[in-house]
């Protein structure tokens, strides 16, 4: 009997594998989450631009209405001559608005409205504080007590103003001239109302001037500078060395010593005072033009925590002075660096808003005019929670120490946030802690308003009641 063997055919397998429904759902959820992150970030950017656009539009409309009312006045022609800065600021605000630079348009519009407000106050002798950052104080007359100066306060002719090593202030006079007091400066304010003989005296320090149509007279010990209208200049005096510096970036000025020595200083020129004698005229390099990045550049710390700051070369200058601060007035500087290159690569570690500008240096190291100020923002955009952050930053007051009319406030907030006390910026450490000294303006109960604002404009506010025995 023959038995025939029948082999079973080989079982072939195909290159297939199974995917569970749960895995598909997880993949779909991940993709949807990524899309949501991108859409949310783009929506936030567009919303931020839209808010700035509306704010700039409102300010331009308000300034236009005020100027229209001025144009209807019988003295409109003279007002236009005396306060041309208001018309120029409005034109610049409109131009930057048309270019889509809404942040700059808002800044120009705000300045225009402040100048227009000064026009309305003309004749009252008021001097408006545009900005006061860091340690800035004032006193009335020769024997008054020193008090803290805040942004938007009003000063009078013959007031004294001084800044500390971390303070700066912008003062707007009624004729439209702007004086910027840098660190460690003290001045005795003149009338500067246009047409008067009042003089602003610099006891020591560094003052930058931007005059209106009318001339301004600024004195230092042993000398006097007559700054012509439509001039951008600086006057500085070092009382330890008895040395002064007078520079014109646009326009011009005349310097005269007590002994009668004079110098005419033109645009991009300077003269120095030493041992009560004036030097010969020296030429200064021109104003650098910034190349990049654009103003208000956004930097993601989780992606590329570096930024390259660049500017165009300036003729007759081989070195540049770069400064970076978290204060628009550079009341304190994070970096101040002299370099031969026309760029700088920075590694950024902390969140926040940073401001930067550049000046070209001459062969002796004297800086010419500063460039325009630009800023960049550093923030972490790693997750959907951060992109759509609507959570106010933590704000903790750790201690309040009163000493007479001085109050020291210690606190801590979110790293990278900004803090103000009564609308004045406070310098934060990298971990978000801060310590600020406040001079109170009146005896009795006072209320301090402390605000912390994060990179997404969420804010936390605390109000502290502080009792002051006597000033």
Domain assignment present for 62: yes
**What's residue 17's pLDDT?**
53
Question: Which residue shows structure tokens 């001097």?
Answer: 127
What DSSP letter does each residue of 165-178 carry, written as one string?
TT-EEEEE-TTS-E
Q: Which residue has the higher pLDDT, 193 or 149?
A: 149
Burial class, 369, CB count within 10 angstroms (exposed 0-12 / middle 13-18 / buried 19+): buried
d(CA 342, CA 73): 50
* Neighbour-count burial for 41-62, b at 16+ CB within 10 Å, e otherwise: beeeeeebeeebbebbeebbee
Indicate if 138 and 231 belong to the same structural domain: yes
- pLDDT of 192 > 50? The answer is no
- The most confident of 58-72, 234-248, 446-460, by mean pLDDT: 234-248
d(CA 212, CA 173): 9
Domain assignment present for 141: yes
Domain assignment present for 1: no
- pLDDT of 291 > 90? The answer is yes
- pLDDT of 457 > 60? The answer is yes
Q: How confident is the model at residue 244 (pLDDT cuts 50, 70, 90)?
A: very high
Q: Which residue has the higher pLDDT, 353 or 309?
A: 309
Q: What is the pTM of this model?
A: 0.62
Indicate if 201 and 226 belong to the same structural domain: yes
For residue 423, the enclosing domain spans 389-468
Indicate if 340 and 439 belong to the same structural domain: no
Tokens read off for 102: 């809404």
Least confident of 196-205, 209-218, 355-364: 196-205
Indicate if 267 and 314 belong to the same structural domain: no
How is residue 428 annotated by DSSP?
Answer: B
Indicate if 129 and 275 belong to the same structural domain: yes
Indicate if 242 and 350 belong to the same structural domain: no
3-state secondary structure of 63: helix
Domain assignment present for 79: yes
Domain assignment present for 264: yes
Mean pLDDT of the chain: 83
Question: Sign of the C-alpha dihedral, residues 64, 65, 71, 75?
Answer: negative
- pLDDT of 182 > 90? The answer is yes
Q: How confident is the model at residue 254 (pLDDT cuts 50, 70, 90)?
A: very high
Indicate if 97 and 141 belong to the same structural domain: no
- pLDDT of 385 > 70? The answer is no
**What's residue 220's pLDDT?**
94
Counted residue by residue, the chain has a size of 471
Contact 163, 184 (CB under 8 A): yes
Q: How confident is the model at residue 467 (pLDDT cuts 50, 70, 90)?
A: confident
At which of 348, 383, 418 does a domain end? 383
Q: Mark residue 404 as left, alpha or beta (left: phi above 0; alpha: psi -120 to 50; beta: remaining).
A: left
Domain at 449, CATH number: 2.60.40.10
Domain assignment present for 17: no
Indicate if 169 and 265 belong to the same structural domain: yes
> How many distinct structural domains can be found in the chain?
4
Indicate if 427 and 451 belong to the same structural domain: yes
Domain assignment present for 314: yes
Indicate if 193 and 273 belong to the same structural domain: yes
Domain assignment present for 7: no
At which of 65, 92, 118 does a domain end? 118
Indicate if 191 and 140 belong to the same structural domain: yes
At which of 358, 383, 408 does a domain end? 383
Q: Mark residue 94 as left, alpha or beta (left: phi above 0; alpha: psi -120 to 50; beta: remaining).
A: alpha
DSSP-derived pairing of the beta strands 186-188 and 290-292: unpaired
Domain at 145, CATH number: 2.60.120.1440
Number of Cβ within a 10 Å radius of residue 176: 25
What is the rounded average pLDDT of the residues 136-156?
Answer: 85
**What's residue 249's pLDDT?**
97
pLDDT digits (tens, 9 = 90+) for 412-445: 998 778 898 888 888 787 678 888 878 776 777 7
**What's residue 389's pLDDT?**
56
**What's residue 196's pLDDT?**
44
What DSSP letter does each residue of 132-168 carry, written as one string?
EESSEEEESTTTPPPEE--TT-EE-TT-EEEE-TT-E
Q: How confident is the model at residue 3 (pLDDT cuts 50, 70, 90)?
A: very low
d(CA 72, CA 309): 47
**What's residue 232's pLDDT?**
95
Tokens read off for 275: 């041992």
Q: How far is CA 287 from the centre of its chain?
A: 19
Type and span of the H or E element at 196? none
**What's residue 41's pLDDT?**
63
Indicate if 145 and 279 belong to the same structural domain: yes
């Amino acid at each position: 009997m023959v038995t025939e063997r029948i082999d079973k055919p080989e079982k072939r397998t195909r290159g297939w594998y199974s995917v569970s429904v749960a895995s598909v759902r997880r993949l779909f959820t991940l993709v949807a989450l990524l899309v949501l992150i991108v859409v949310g970030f783009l929506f936030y950017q567009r919303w931020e631009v839209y808010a700035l656009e509306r704010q700039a539009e409102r300010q331009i409309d308000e300034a236009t209405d005020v100027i229209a009312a001025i144009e209807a006045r019988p003295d409109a022609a003279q007002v236009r001559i005396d306060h041309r800065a208001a018309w120029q600021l409005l034109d610049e605000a409109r131009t930057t608005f048309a270019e889509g630079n809404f942040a700059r348009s808002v800044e120009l519009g705000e300045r225009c409205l402040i100048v227009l407000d000064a026009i309305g106050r003309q004749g009252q002798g008021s001097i408006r504080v545009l900005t006061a950052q860091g340690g800035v104080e004032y006193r009335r007359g020769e024997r008054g007590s020193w008090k803290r100066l805040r942004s938007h306060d009003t000063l009078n002719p013959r007031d004294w103003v001084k800044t500390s090593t971390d303070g700066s202030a912008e003062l707007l006079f009624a004729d439209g001239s702007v004086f910027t007091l840098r660190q460690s400066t003290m001045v005795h304010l003149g009338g500067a109302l246009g047409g008067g003989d009042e003089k602003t005296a610099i006891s020591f320090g560094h003052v930058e001037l931007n005059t209106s149509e009318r001339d301004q007279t600024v004195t230092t010990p042993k000398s006097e500078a007559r700054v012509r209208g439509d001039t951008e200049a600086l006057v500085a005096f070092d009382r330890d060395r008895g040395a002064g510096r007078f520079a014109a970036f646009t326009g011009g000025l005349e310097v005269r010593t007590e002994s009668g020595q004079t110098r005419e200083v033109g645009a991009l020129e300077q003269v120095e005072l030493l041992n009560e004698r004036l030097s010969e005229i020296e030429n200064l390099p021109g104003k650098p033009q910034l190349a990049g990045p654009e103003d208000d550049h956004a930097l993601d710390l989780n992606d590329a925590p570096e930024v390259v700051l660049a500017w165009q070369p300036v003729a007759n200058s081989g070195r540049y002075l770069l400064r970076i601060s978290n204060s628009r007035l550079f009341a304190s500087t994070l970096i101040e660096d002299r370099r031969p290159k026309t760029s700088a690569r920075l590694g950024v570690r902390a969140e926040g808003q940073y401001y930067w500008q550049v000046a070209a240096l001459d062969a002796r190291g004297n800086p010419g005019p500063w460039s325009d100020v630009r800023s960049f923002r550093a923030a972490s955009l790693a997750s959907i929670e951060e992109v759509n952050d609507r959570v106010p930053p933590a704000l903790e007051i750790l201690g309040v120490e009163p000493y007479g009319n001085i109050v020291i406030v210690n606190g801590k907030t979110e790293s990278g946030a900004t803090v103000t006390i009564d609308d004045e910026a406070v310098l934060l450490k990298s971990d978000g802690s801060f310590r600020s000294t406040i001079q109170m303006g009146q005896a009795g109960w006072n209320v301090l308003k402390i605000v912390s604002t994060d990179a997404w404009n969420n804010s936390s506010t605390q109000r502290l009641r502080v009792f002051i025995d006597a000033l």
